[in-house]
Structure 1
Amino acid sequence: MKPAAARPTSGRRPDGGDATNTATAARWSLVIPLKPLALAKSRLAAAVGDELRPRLALAFALDTVAAALDCAAVGNVAVVTDDPLAGAELATLGARIVPDSPGAGLNAALAHGAYRVRSRHPALPVAALNADLPALRPAELGRVLAAAAAFPRAFLADAAGIGTTFLSALPGRDLNPVFGGPSRAAHSASGATEILLDGVDSVRRDVDTGADLRAALSLGPGPATAALQSALDPVRGH
């Protein structure tokens, strides 16, 4: 499998250790889950084919992690994945790679990742963020994090208004992720506060289908996804 042709640059440490932003005192630990690329984004195959699908999954993750690391409010990023290629590429950006040792699905992976980052940074708030946000803007993520800081647990609904792209917990509070399916309702029922912000489309715009991908491309994708532009022209209708 070929990796995405271009690499986002985060300005962070390229050694796989915790890349720490010292520009602001309001720092967060982010946990980003990523399936093995061979299994990731299965619903996207109908639009892009099975050859391009894993390359896009990696590109989405690269752009998401690079943007997160460039957000001034983010102190460190951990990616929970067992994929060796993705792990190597994302560590180069400055993410810490956490093996998915539970191997019990998305929510178990997120809970494990949150535990691991809190073992290093117990005083920092923690947030789970989707890996499929190719148009993510650091400033918009910063606004979401600032809003989340006002609540013990908070979440942001996806663009469809059904799922969730972001879930946070302040120090001393469990993350309690319930991602999957109608997770907006599930997170609300769990006691998390919904973040109601306009102008954060790039944080809401996850990609599962061809229509989602077209919407993300219209927002302006990051460099790894943009590097696959010619292959994506049929999806865009060009």
Structure 2
Amino acid sequence: MVPLKPLAVAKSRLAGSTGEPLRPRLALAFAQDTVAAALACPVVRDVVVVTDDPLAAAELTALGARAVPDSPAAGLNAALAHGARVVRERRPRAAVAALNADLPALRPAELARVLATAGDFPRAFLADAAEIGTTLLAARAGSELNPAFGGASRLRHLSAGAVEIVLAGVDSVRRDVDTGEDLLAASALGLGPYTARQRAVPGPVPGAGGAGVTAPGTRPAP
């Protein structure tokens, strides 16, 4: 499952470094690259996007995802719990995983490694690159997802009994993007094609304190 806020309010912290006109387009591009990579992952059966944004729903459905409305609209964790219920209404014994929508450098092979490890535990999660938040939470068949995303979610997931996944070489699954600095770090890993297209205009990319840093190259579509 991939949750996505309405594009009009998504990724608000990026506006200062990318400019307001580009912000919603980048939010959508991040989600497109995330969903495309997840669909290309050999251990992912399908991808459900939880969103109330009609444009995002249309674009992500076109990639092969299934969009469901964010109902009840009561925040990120309620949306993820709702998405898990929707998945298990069709397949009651399905393993489920929640994945951030802002992973523009996501690689299918790295995601497959994380999910394979997660399958060894009733509930497991992967911390973000800062080791404060969470980018992926998984629950195998028979276990509830019980998401606690947002802010210092790593500690909340640990305290709720989820096992932390510790793997080397899965940086693309940990690199979410909230700020201009995060976007530069994702660029160093190699952006997916949708984000790269939005960043295709040559020139410096704003970084910390307004400094210009030229972004590295991109990677091909998964």
**1:92-137 residue CA offsets vs partner (Å, 9 max, x unmatched):** 0010001001100000000000000111122221000000000000
Amino acid in the other structure paired with 1:161: E
1:112 has 2:82 as partner: yes
Instruction: Say if 1:232 and 1:141 are closer, same or farther in 2 by CA, change over 3 A.
Output: farther
Q: Which residue of the partner structure matches residue 46 of structure 1?
A: 16
- Over 3 Å counting, the alpha-carbon distance change for 1:91 and 1:232 in structure 2 is farther
Equivalent pair of 1:48/1:232 in contact (CA under 8 Å): no
Alignment-derived partner of residue 121 in structure 2: 151
Distance 1:148 1:233, change over 3 A: farther
Q: How does 1:57-76 map to 2 (within 5 A)?
A: 57-76=27-46
SS of structure 2 residue aligned to 1:75: coil
Answer yes or no: is the 8 Å Cα contact 2:87–2:94 preserved in 1.
Answer: no
Aligned residue in 2 for 1:180: 150
The equivalent position to 2:68 in structure 1, one of 98, 107, 129, is 98
- RMSD after superposition: 1.0
Range 198-207 or range 122-131, more displaced: 122-131
Which one of the candidate residues 195, 205, 210 is aligned to 2:180?
Answer: 210
Corresponding residue to 2:7 among 37, 42, 47: 37
Give the secondary structure class of the aligned counterpart of 1:85: helix
2:152 maps to a residue whose letter is: P
Q: Which residue of 2 aligns with 1:20?
A: none
- Rounded to whole Å, the distance in 2 between the matches of 1:228 and 1:177 is 31
8 Å CA contact 1:132, 1:207 repeated in 2: yes
Change (3 A) 1:91 1:45: same
SS in 2 for 1:227: helix
Does residue 129 in structure 1 map to residue 99 in structure 2? Answer: yes
Residue type of the partner of 1:117? V
1:173-214: CA deviation from partner (whole Å, max 9, x where unpaired): 110000001000000000000000000000000000010000
Letter in 1 for 2:130: A
SS at match of 2:200: helix
- Distance in 1, matches of 2:182 and 2:199, equals 15
Gaps of 5+ in 2: 207-212, 215-222
Structure ranking higher on relative contact order (CA contacts 8 Å, 6+ apart): 1
Structure 1: unaligned runs, 5 residues or longer: 1-30
Per-residue deviation at 1:234?
2.8
1:132-166 alpha-carbon deviations (Å, 9 max, x no partner): 00000000000000000000000000001100000
Residue in 2 that maps onto 1:85: 55
Query: Residues 161, 232 of structure 1: CA spacing in aligned structure 2 closer, same or farther, 3 A cutoff?
Result: farther
Find the partner of 2:137 among 138, 162, 167: 167
Q: Percent identity?
A: 69
TM-fit CA distance, 1:235: 1.7
- The alignment's TM-score, normalised by the length of structure 1, stands at 0.86
Amino acid at match of 2:81: A
The amino acid that maps onto 1:116 is: V
